[in-house]
Amino acid sequence: MASEEKRHGALEISESINQQIAKKIDYLQQLMAALKDHDDRQIYRLLDNQRYAAEIEHREQQGNDSSVMNLVDNLADQLSSYLSSKLIKYLGKAYPFFYYEEYQTGHYRIYFGNWWDRRQFGELDVLNIRFVFDQKEYKKLQDSFELASHGKRYNSKRIEDLSSANDHLQALIDSTEERSQKRAQLQSELKDASNRGGLFESAKNRETREDIKDQISQLEDQDEEARNAAVNIRKNNQAVLELSKENTILSYEQKSITDVFGSFEDFALANRNLYANYLKSLEKGNSDNQHAKNDDEKQVSDHD
């Protein structure tokens, strides 16, 4: 009896193993067929069935079967490189201001624009069809839109502050001789006040001497600041130049987004809907075009 139960248990285990193997084979065969047919939609469905069901088919979510999906984990970079061809071609039309650099197989940096000093804006996550923006750069762009709505530029306040600082420093340089004359006058007054001092110095005279010392000390501080003024003016001028360049680049970026999407809010909405919008654009039966190797239309360059 025990032997019979053992054989029965072994058969059940064997059948379960066979079923699991069959399921894995079926999954890989489906993936191979999709690759052969250049059916990117089907590949994305196989990579994340739960998300595909929710965002494309609008049906009750199904849990992903990690026991089969993790079979291709070690092919993530190669799949990303393969799937990037159609995706980047689509993005070239939907986001014509973004450019991409494949810095290693299946990994893509995003650059905003093709102008001088363009910014690296994050990375493209091909397998999940999403932008992974550099949050610092993204926030800077978002803030620039908000400021523009009030007639301001991103770095206007900092440029104003630096310009005011330079005006102050230049005034210190210009008033060097005036301070020298003032110091000589104060030193003479201090000498007179000191001569009026002594053992029974009045409180008023003591107060006068302290006030003169304070004035002389302030002049010395101004002289010290004036000695470094020329260097600091040059530094501030360079900073203003860099901030002005950044303002110009941000204005290019704002115009690029406005021309395509109308507003920053609509740009952000398009980013959230990118997965669904892209896969819906991949009509079945229209995927017989060969995956082109990196060309100009892809707006992407290879790593060295």
SS3 assignment, position 102: strand
Least-confidence region, from 70-79, 103-112, 117-126, 268-277: 70-79
pLDDT at 3: 63
User: Distances in Å between the alpha carbon of 301 and those of 283, 290, 298, 304?
Assistant: 27, 19, 8, 9
> What are the tens digits of pLDDT across the range 24-63?
888 889 999 999 999 999 999 999 989 998 998 888 766 7
C-alpha to C-alpha distance for 88 and 293, rounded to whole angstroms: 12
Whole-number Å distance between alpha carbons of 232 and 237: 8
Residues contacting residue 128 through CB under 8 Å, at least 6 positions apart: 48, 275
CA atoms of 108 and 101, how far apart (whole Å): 5
Segment 67-72 mean pLDDT: 78
pLDDT at site 283: 72
With contact defined as beta carbons under 8 Å apart, do 278 and 87 qualify?
yes
Task: Indicate the average pLDDT of the chain.
Answer: 86
Residues β-bridged to residue 122: 110, 133
**What is the DSSP track for 189-223?**
HHHHHHHT-STT--HHHHHHHHHHHHHHHHHHHHH
C-alpha–C-alpha distance, residues 90 and 85, integer Å: 9
Q: Hey, where are the domains in the chain?
A: 2-74, 76-153+262-302, 156-245
